[in-house]
Structure 1
């Protein structure tokens, strides 16, 4: 096993799980994830961090997808701890292995930054949602301030390989709208006590319309 493979297999999953479960991040998750209803699909479910926030009385079925085998171990352990049946698979968001119109809610948190083709992933999430279904999202991305954007562009070539493909410059809400979703509500802000180039967050809910 080479150094890069060792880092990606052993170190990176733990770094991601730690960074994505910081207190301020968990507060944002707590405002988004509990809105899930019915048949729920979570893209980027590895780590299992969101599972504590789902309302088990409102969720009738849960499925998830993640490309990281190690993070999926965490997700399956969390599902067992929660005591619910979960269809958790290894795979990528560009080719979600579920049929059209399968889910009432799709949840996507801190995932669009690291997928290979974010536009295709959004199309796939829209495809598997039932008409009128809801996308719940929480992501970091391109900041609105030109000075911060410049730093994001400078740092991104170093950041991407270090953080498992995570990009700093991808727009979030604009991309959701471009994928054909109708925005219900949204929020955005810099997170406190974090460098501004890494702390711009956008979240909300959007509907699959005809």
Structure 2
């Protein structure tokens, strides 16, 4: 599995995330980012060129050195200062109350300790800060949920730990956030894989 995890999977992740259907989600989420931004699960850096002038600095965190190598090529296309950190979202290597905005795009599905990671995101946010998120997860429809439960064990192995059935809103609220805005619904694609949560939360 080492070759698959280290060589094949990063390329599959990058390719899947370049899907044009995902761009409107990215643009809507990132349009609200401001100040000093921590992007958790920056991956290959596809969001970096999309940040607005309201963003002063972007810190990109990811556990995959292969994806961070790809992201370095995108740093120059970011309009603001950008830096990359290899590390775990369950132990974010930043001071408490040090960022204005945390961004996650299709990240919480694959973090082993998603609840701990969200508590860490809340810790590093300044008072008055915000979490902007676009995630896929547990559907609102029981027949789709059943398929998500059936498919997740094999999908998790193939997708680098990706869970199809995580209850994103529940996870965010349980970590000490209040949901300020949320929209849910299906994107284009097989329903067990494309139930989206898009919104903003505050500590």
Residue 141 of structure 1 pairs with residue 137 of structure 2: yes
Query: SS in structure 2 opposite 1:185?
Result: strand
Q: 2:61 & 2:177 partners in 1: Cα distance?
A: 21
Residue 28 of structure 1 pairs with residue 39 of structure 2: no
Q: 1:195 & 1:81 partners in 2: Cα distance?
A: 33
- Out of 74, 81, 91, the residue aligned to residue 78 of structure 1 is 74
CA RMSD of aligned residues (A): 1.1
Q: Which runs of 4+ in 1 moved over 6 A?
A: none
- Out of 65, 69, 78, the residue aligned to residue 69 of structure 1 is 65
Q: 1:18 & 1:108 partners in 2: Cα distance?
A: 18
Q: How many residues align?
A: 203
Question: Would the alpha carbon gap of residues 83 and 60 (structure 1) be closer, same or farther in structure 2, given more than 3 Å must change?
Answer: closer
After TM superposition, the score normalised by the length of structure 2 is 0.96
User: Which residue pairs with 2:171 in the alignment?
Assistant: 175
User: Which residue pairs with 1:123 in the alignment?
Assistant: 119
Structure 1 segments unaligned to the other structure (5+ residues): none
Q: 2:67 & 2:140 partners in 1: Cα distance?
A: 31
User: Which residue pairs with 1:201 in the alignment?
Assistant: 196
- Out of 103, 107, 111, the residue aligned to residue 111 of structure 1 is 107
Q: For structure 1, which segment, 176-185 or 113-122, has the greater mean C-alpha deviation from structure 2 after superposition?
A: 176-185
Q: 1:53 & 1:184 partners in 2: Cα distance?
A: 23
User: Which residue pairs with 1:18 in the alignment?
Assistant: 15
Could you tell me whether the CA contact under 8 Å between 1:173 and 1:203 is conserved in 2? no
Residue 92 of structure 1 pairs with residue 88 of structure 2: yes
Structure 2 segments unaligned to the other structure (5+ residues): none
Query: SS in structure 2 opposite 1:81?
Result: coil
Residue 165 of structure 1 pairs with residue 161 of structure 2: yes
Query: SS in structure 1 opposite 2:198?
Result: strand
User: Which residue pairs with 1:102 in the alignment?
Assistant: 98
Q: 1:187 & 1:44 partners in 2: Cα distance?
A: 21
Q: 1:53 & 1:94 partners in 2: Cα distance?
A: 26
Tell me by how many angstroms 1:33 deviates: 1.2
- Out of 147, 150, 166, the residue aligned to residue 146 of structure 2 is 150
